[in-house]
Chain A
């Protein structure tokens, strides 16, 4: 390479590169500021961000899952952590130690849990969400039964009697052993069933122990679907979630007419095993976290929407309930809420 030629190309190269860099730099400065920081401000001035941890009932879980999902879609900076620990399990292991912001429950908070909350400096804020029709299911091929009385149901599940075969309870039924499925002991559904169906027992335990207990209510339906002589109980939403795989029994109480499980029956009170669903908030965290307040407001307002009934399978909250919940929320934000049963 001749030196003069070299310096010539050098100069051109250097000048060119300087010019290119300068031009590029100027253009780059234009795109330098983070104008593309926020993608779409949905009418909100600042974006909500933060963590929300929700523990508790597997019954309420489908509602919570759908509501958190749609909220997260609109507020992508809010990080949800949703678990299924059971109503009691959630209170015991997560909410009372102060690890979760909300605990879903398919039964009201107990005296003992309330006391332990307060001992830990937590005031639980109760929000009424929806209603469930607890459903008793049998296998599709179980032609011998279409309805059952609460008393018979209690006899089947009570630890005092704990019958081996169907015919032990009712002579019309076949002489085959029971295959029982139900929620695990951490579940609010379990607690509710014991109280509403079994009642007081003389044995040391509340319920017979030889059933298959699970926290995933879908598995109850699937287990019952696998055995002709199986029986199980689960929330209505999980029955509608496993269509055509199990048969729901009509329930009768005190010699009355058998009532099919349905949302209308639960709403009107005709169906014997209708029960309310709740979610409890941690008042201290509600006061602190802005995004939590917004989420709860959203949760409360969504609870009366139709899709709760149509897609998920619970009775939506009434307008009055929504009003009451909003009032409770405002009281909690102001720090003035106090739980009363």
Chain B
């Protein structure tokens, strides 16, 4: 009968369908498993490294309870509270950025300037900023048309040159002033100017000037107080200018403009306060700390090959930061310039067009060249041709700068490409020249994408070891580099050098701790890049 046939047909079909469905599900599970394999393996390895670095097993359960009570619980409560209140979250995000960003900036600035000698840095900064300031002032007061754009970098270079000449003779004179005055000039003055400018744009010139003056006066007060107390005036001045002032400013603005979200500013302080409170309780009641190797000693001392508990990587951290900073200065302008040419200036056809294609092919090939080969290039260029010493900061920064140049170019190209053409056309329609369009319209839109790409490239470069080994950067240094031509030192190199040491307190102690420090640095940079991309970036 017809119905029977249909039923048996249907039954046959559904069995087949079920098999197919099973196959599909198995396939999907296999795909998920594959996707997770790499991530899970890495997490397992990270867990092992962190376990060796922090040694959580050696802490008593009381310790965990204390920190749970002072840190985890309040933070969780605050997060739950903020979850449904976007105003609170905005205020919290701002406060977070100000507090932790400010702390980070203060310590990094202090460490780097201290390593390079505050007097030298001040002299160079002073003379490097004087000519551009003059150029800008001239440009604003005169009606004549000027080549201000290209003049600015040239004037900076001239200023640096003058500083180099003058540094020797003047440093004796400048050295009479106390160290904190140098930091005042380097950190407080820009901070005060920034506050003054922001306040002036809102409330008028006079209020702005007053605000700036208050900031400066505050710094002086801090310096005076710390001198009389005998503490490190320089560090406190930097902390005040780069941490307290921005935090105070952000809190004040949040309180004024975001009345319902005001509580959000408490977020970072809950965390900081929780950590401090927990630490004091642990100290007071002599609760067992974990036998962690990630201690202040690690972060502030220099290496000790015999006693693991004395070993530290401070010179290497500062060295890595200096190298990365200088490398950014070298690679950023050239990379952006090249990307602008390829995206905005180069024609699509003709001889020039083919040259541009060749350039692009060349750049994508350079991106794939192994880092050892860049090391050889650096060796040949800096040691042989230019005759610099072995493994100095300039060579290291130059070699790594060449390494990340293709990446900077490609990501800037993508950022420029993502700016919609209508904006450009609109600007041309108003009669602007190509450079004006670039400067006023395209570049501001492309900056977040460029910054993201550059920071990611820098995060990669901070972990590069092979080129540094090839250009013979030293592995044993007890103090951070003292200048751009002094011998460099870097954190990944120290890890490489110490990896052979099989004593358990090194292999499963200090070295994993140093590796964790490197990972944290890298994660911080990645996080910054992602935050910039999410907050300011264009969705493609």
Contact = CB atoms under 8 A, between A and B. Distances in A.
B500 A218 contact: yes
A243 B506 CA distance: 13
Interface string B361-403: 0000000000000000000000000000010000000000000
Contact of B502 (A13, A24, A79, A221): A221
Interface in B230-288: 233
Interface residues of A, number: 42
Nearest to A54: B476
Contacts of A20: 217
Interface in A1-45: 13, 17, 20-21, 24-25, 27-28, 30-37
Contacts of B210: 13
Contacts of B177: 32-34
B178 A79 contact: no
Nearest to A10: B206
Contacts of B181: 32
Contacts of A222: 500, 502
A65 interface: yes
Interface stretch (A66-74, A256-264, A321-329): A66-74
Given A31-B178, A76-B479, A81 B474 contact: yes
A81 B479 contact: no
Contacts of A80: 476-478
Q: Determine chain B's interface SS by DSSP, over half rule.
A: loop
A99 interface: yes
A82 interface: yes
B179 A36 contact: yes
B477 A81 contact: yes
A62 interface: yes
A34 B502 contact: no
B292 interface: no
A31 B302 contact: no
Contacts of A25: 220
B333 interface: no
A20 B176 CA distance: 25
Contact of B501 (A32, A73, A218): A218
Nearest to B221: A24
B224 interface: yes
Contact of B479 (A17, A72, A84): A72
Given A31-B223, A219-B500, A222-B502, A36 B233 contact: yes
A194 interface: no
Q: Which of B178, B181, B474, B482 has the most CB of A within 10 A?
A: B178
Given A21-B217, A99-B390, A37 B224 contact: no
A20 B479 CA distance: 40
Interface in B114-137: none
A241 interface: yes
Interface stretch (B15-23, B303-311, B411-419, B526-534): B303-311
B98 to A, nearest CB: 26
A27 B306 CA distance: 47
Interface string A168-198: 0000000000000000000000000000000
Interface in B190-218: 210, 213, 217
A140 B78 CA distance: 57
Given A80-B476, A81-B487, A69 B233 contact: no
B474 A83 contact: yes
A68 B224 contact: no
B535 interface: no
Given A69-B478, A81-B476, A81-B487, 14 more contacts: A24-B217, A27-B220, A27-B224, A28-B220, A28-B224, A34-B177, A36-B233, A66-B306, A72-B478, A79-B479, A83-B472, A216-B500, A218-B502, A222-B500
27 contacts: A21-B217, A24-B217, A24-B224, A25-B220, A27-B224, A30-B227, A31-B223, A31-B227, A31-B228, A31-B233, A32-B181, A33-B176, A33-B177, A34-B178, A37-B179, A66-B306, A69-B478, A79-B482, A81-B474, A81-B487, A83-B472, A83-B474, A83-B475, A216-B500, A219-B500, A241-B502, A241-B503
Interface of B: 175-181, 210, 213, 217, 220-221, 223-224, 227-228, 233, 302-306, 390, 472, 474-479, 482, 486-487, 500-503
